[in-house]
Amino acid sequence: MCPVTDSTPEAVAFSGLPNGPPPDSVDRVLPQGYRLLGIVSRTTGSLVMRVLDERSGQAAVLKRSTQTPVAPLNIRALGVQCPGILLPRRTWSEADATYELLDWVDSYTLESIMQHAHVPVRGALLDHWVTTLVELVVPLHSAHPPIIHRDITPSNVVVATEDLSLWLIDTSSACFGGQTQHPAGSPSYAPREQLEGNAVPASDIYSIGALAYHLAMQRLPPSFASREQALKRRASHGDPRDATCNPHLAIETGGLQKLGDWIELMLQLIPVARPRDADNALALKRPENTLVNKRLGTLTLPNGRRVVMNLLDFHIELQEERTSQ
């Protein structure tokens, strides 16, 4: 990872290349000592730029948001220690926009990996990634009051190019549980209660389950509406099963049945039917009947590099895949 200049090192990863000059209005609100290099990405209400820290010579990221109903939660100032969650170095508001300054890290989003690989992620690698994501949000859910990320999607989970470690980014939608909220999140990955402004820690667990389903099946999970219709049809036929349960999702996990059951539990329609938070989710994960292979698998990165990932005691060992002569 790139070295940082802040006394509490955090980093953020936005893959991309500068593709044009930034607007003058953003140039005027840059902190002193930073120079704009170019635009990384544009979305509705959001502009992400790469900037240069002229004191250290290191790249950084500036994110400008114009559709944030409230100021982002300052998790760093709350003293919550979140290893693996990449927090802004500085956040401020100017006119009708909110700015977040973060450190640049070379990485790929899961979204870009999925787009380039064209193969499902299953088996030991799926197990490792899903478990890691749950572990990453434990500090948020264990805070008092609990903090909910509310935007766990493939574009907000990144894989560092240096060691392929998994990081969770973009805490701009994070909020306290049990308080008045504005709706947030992607309809493809967020549960109904979150989209209605009633997120709870179990909402993050649903998002992780939806992301896991997408990795394993190469498609989004069935929509809330379609599954609710299936439940109504089941009830109308006098099916005695609990009407709050999911219709079976048949998640293909590469032979790890307990992993499939765990992901399906995360995707329950009603919050109380899911693990209540990250700690509870880890407690409910059951070991497989067979030993999970320590070879996580071969991963193809968007730059064409293929690496074999082996899970050791406390880290991932990388080995370049050899091609047959």
Q: Which of 34-43, 159-168, 197-206, 274-283 has the lowest mean pLDDT?
A: 34-43
Contact indicator for 89, 74 with CB cutoff of 8 Å: no
Peptide bond before 145: cis, by omega within 30 degrees of 0? Answer: yes
For the domain that residue 154 is a member of, what is the CATH number?
1.10.510.10
In a domain, 155, yes or no: yes
Q: What is the separation, in whole angstroms, between the first and last Cα of the chain?
A: 34
Residues 261 and 146 in one domain: yes
pLDDT at 161 > cutoff 60: yes
Alpha carbon distance 314, 151 (integer Å):
27
Contact indicator for 265, 276 with CB cutoff of 8 Å: no
In a domain, 1, yes or no: no
Last residue of a domain, one of 105, 133, 167: 105
Alpha carbon distance 290, 293 (integer Å):
9
In a domain, 112, yes or no: no
Last residue of a domain, one of 77, 105, 133: 105
Residues 276 and 148 in one domain: yes
Alpha carbon distance 102, 4 (integer Å):
9
pLDDT band at 285 (very low <50, low <70, confident <90, very high): very high
Residues 277 and 133 in one domain: yes
DSSP, res 195: H
pLDDT at 130 > cutoff 70: yes
For the domain that residue 68 is a member of, what is the CATH number?
3.30.200.20
Which pLDDT value is given to residue 40? 76
Which pLDDT value is given to residue 261? 93
Alpha carbon distance 188, 219 (integer Å):
10
Place of tokens 């955090």: 10
Instruction: Provide DSSP, 16-47.
Output: ----SPPPHHHHTTSPTTEEEEEEEEEETTEE
Residues 187 and 82 in one domain: no
In a domain, 306, yes or no: no
Q: How does the average pLDDT of the chain come out, rounded? A: 80
Which pLDDT value is given to residue 231? 73
pLDDT band at 25 (very low <50, low <70, confident <90, very high): low
Tens digits of per-residue pLDDT, 47-103?
888 899 888 888 888 888 876 666 778 898 888 999 899 888 888 887 778 888 888
Which pLDDT value is given to residue 212? 96
Give 157 or 15, the one with higher predicted confidence: 157
Contact indicator for 98, 76 with CB cutoff of 8 Å: no
Other CB atoms within a 10 A radius of the CB of residue 247 amount to 16
Whole-Å CA distances, 305 to 5, 113, 257, 297 = 30, 11, 30, 14
Give 222 or 6, the one with higher predicted confidence: 222
Give 14 or 69, the one with higher predicted confidence: 69
Tens digits of per-residue pLDDT, 191-200?
999 999 999 9
- The count of domains in the chain is 2
pLDDT band at 22 (very low <50, low <70, confident <90, very high): low
Residues 168 and 263 in one domain: yes
With 0.75 as the threshold, say if the pTM is over it: yes
Residues 167 and 97 in one domain: no
Which pLDDT value is given to residue 73? 85
The amino acid present at 179, given as its one-letter code, is Q
Residues 99 and 138 in one domain: no
Residue 174, domain extent: 119-284
In a domain, 79, yes or no: yes
Contact indicator for 278, 138 with CB cutoff of 8 Å: yes
In a domain, 58, yes or no: yes
Residues 147 and 234 in one domain: yes
Mean pLDDT of 106-110: 86
Other CB atoms within a 10 A radius of the CB of residue 296 amount to 23
Residues 242 and 123 in one domain: yes
Give 214 or 183, the one with higher predicted confidence: 214
Residues 268 and 131 in one domain: yes
Q: Which of 20-34, 168-182, 277-291 has the lowest mean pLDDT?
A: 20-34
Residues 170 and 247 in one domain: yes
Mean pLDDT of 200-220: 96
In a domain, 16, yes or no: no
pLDDT at 259 > cutoff 90: yes
Residues 145 and 194 in one domain: yes
Other CB atoms within a 10 A radius of the CB of residue 45 amount to 11
Last residue of a domain, one of 71, 105, 139: 105
In a domain, 81, yes or no: yes
